[in-house]
Amino acid sequence: MFDIRIEGKAPIYEQLYEKISGLITSGVLSAGERLPTVRETARSLGINPNTVQRAYNRLEQEGFIYSIPAKGSYVSDNKAALDAKLKKASDELKQSMISAKNAGLPKETAKKIIDEIWH
């Protein structure tokens, strides 16, 4: 379910947080959907359960998921959390585009990059 790069520079819990929150904001995971347990996720990814728990805790703190004791973690219908993540992504993209423009990147090249990403 989750595709993370363990060899990446970012800590594994952050990679997992980004992947799950992205699946939620893109609608792949919908409100009310149950997430795999911490142990299931850790086992399937070959990582420490504490790492998964740290990612789940952050997701819960930011309103992406909620937990029910002895029942599991579920995707929240918290629109504010989704909107905040999309706004952050939009702001980051804008800053990157400004940097690219200031560096002299042609507009057509930027469009090609965007098309590659969305296809």
pTM attached to this predicted model = 0.72
Given a contact cutoff of 8 angstroms between Cβ atoms, the answer to whether 113 and 97 are in contact is no
For 17, the token pair is 């947080």
pLDDT tens sequence across 61-84 = 999 999 999 899 999 988 878 788
Given a contact cutoff of 8 angstroms between Cβ atoms, the answer to whether 82 and 25 are in contact is yes
The Cα 37–Cα 40 span in angstroms is 5
99 within domain boundaries: yes
pLDDT beyond 80 at 5: no
Q: Does residue 69 sit in the same domain as residue 88?
A: no
Query: Would you state the pLDDT for residue 1?
Result: 64
For residue 64, what are the domain limits? 12-77
pLDDT tens sequence across 99-112 = 999 999 999 999 99
Q: Does residue 72 sit in the same domain as residue 96?
A: no
Q: Does residue 106 sit in the same domain as residue 63?
A: no
